[in-house]
Structures are given as structure tokens and as C-alpha cells.
Amino acid sequence: MGKNEGMIVIVDYGMGNLRSVEKAFLRVGYSAMVSSSAKDIKNARGMVLPGVGAFGDCIRNLEKLGLIEAIKEGVYGGKWFLGICLGYQVLFEESEEFARTKGLGIFKGVVKRFDSRMRDEEGGFLKVPHIGWNQVEVVKAHPILEGVESGDYFYFVHSYYVEPMDKDLILTTTEYGVRFASGIASKNVIGFQFHPEKSQEKGLALLKNFAKMVYDRE
């Protein structure tokens, strides 16, 4: 890892599969620590923001713990950041969930709810939430996707999806009633709607690629 250069910190704000993410990093040979400390986040070499649940609860919990400033400082300071599921959605300006809720605003765009009145590929009504394995289509090459190809399956659990204003952010897309951005990347910031920690071999490959980028950069 290097000389006291910090670790990957998995941000603990009371929501998400924190330990499963931590264990997934260990499985691919890298250490990560779970913490709710702003100091730890500021000293981190890389940040992971996982999460499941409500967008508004996520933002409120981050505010209560005083973590928003530390996260933004790290992102704008060039630290590697990985957002997973809800941790990906909150990178954007706002969500349509309940009353419109403001996000971190790192990127322009909104988080929209799947429309259960839409038809799925079999002609039935779309089931919301979207739960289970689905394919991703790779839109552009990126080191995080080393070992991942279009058509590979990942595990999803969500009722909302991101609609980025800047389409150049989009790294992968997935079809579920609509074709949505299931992954984005811009400079040091990466986000995925699916759960790499639950996606077996391909998901572990993504986490290993992220850790390599964090720990191997100069």
C-alpha cells in the first residue's frame, strides 16, 4: 500500500452492505476499512460509498455524521471514489423519491423511479423494484472494467435509476423497461447501480480493479 498513505475507506452512514463490501475486497487481496469518521475519510486513499434504501435517509445520515464535506473534499481533491447502488445515485443533483430530495450534486442529473406501468421484455408489467441478475452493455473502455465484457451479468436491487445530464459520463447501460445508465465514470469518480460485492466473479473483478487503481497509482 505504501508509506502511511491511507486505505480504502468504506463509508459507514448506517445504510448498506458494509461488511460484505469489506469482505469482497479481502477476497481479492486488498484491505479496506469501514468507518463513519470524517477524519478517516479525509486520510483515506480511496473512498467507497455503498448503500441500499432511501435517497433522503442517505443524505440526512451523511449530514448528521458530518461526512458530506469530507466526501466532497476527497472527490474534488482527486481521490478515487466508488459509489455503489444508492451511493452512486446520491452523486447526482436530486431524486424524485417522495418529495424531491437534493443529492451531493457532484454531477448534473436526476434519479428517476421505474414506471411499473411499462412492459417488460415478456410483455408483462415491469416489476418494481428491479431485483436480480441483468446484463450490462459496455459503452466505453475504462480500467475499472478490465475483465468485463458487454453481456456480462451483475446483481441489481433498486427502484430508481440515474439519468445523467452529461451522457459522456456513461460507462455501462442496462435494459429494464428503459435503457438506463448502470455505470458512470469521470476522472477519479466511478459509480455503479448494481452491487459488485454480490455479483460473483465479475463483481469481484471490478472491486479488484478499483483497489489496484487506488493503491497502485503514484
The total domain count for the chain is 1
**What is the span of the domain harbouring residue 56?**
8-216
Separation between Cα atoms, residue 127 and residue 106, nearest integer Å: 30
Residue 113 in domain: yes
Whether 50 is in a domain gets the answer yes
**What SS3 state is found at 184?**
strand
Q: What is the pLDDT along the chain (218 residues), one digit of tens a residue?
A: 443 357 999 999 988 779 999 999 999 999 999 999 999 999 999 999 998 888 999 999 999 999 999 999 999 999 999 999 999 999 999 998 877 789 999 999 999 999 877 766 666 788 999 999 999 999 999 999 999 999 999 999 999 999 999 999 999 999 999 999 999 999 999 999 999 999 999 999 999 999 999 998 64
Domain assignment present for 175: yes
Which residues are part of the catalytic machinery? 85, 195, 197
Q: Residue 105: inside a domain, yes or no?
A: yes
Is 1 part of any domain?
no
Q: Does some domain include residue 200?
A: yes
Is residue 2, in this structure, part of any structural domain at all?
Answer: no
DSSP H helices in the chain? 18-27, 38-43, 55-64, 68-76, 86-89, 200-216
Measure the CA–CA gap between 63 and 65, rounded to whole angstroms.
5
Q: The domain that contains 64 carries what CATH number? A: 3.40.50.880
In a domain, 158, yes or no: yes
Of 67, 64, 63, nearest in space to 49 by CA: 67
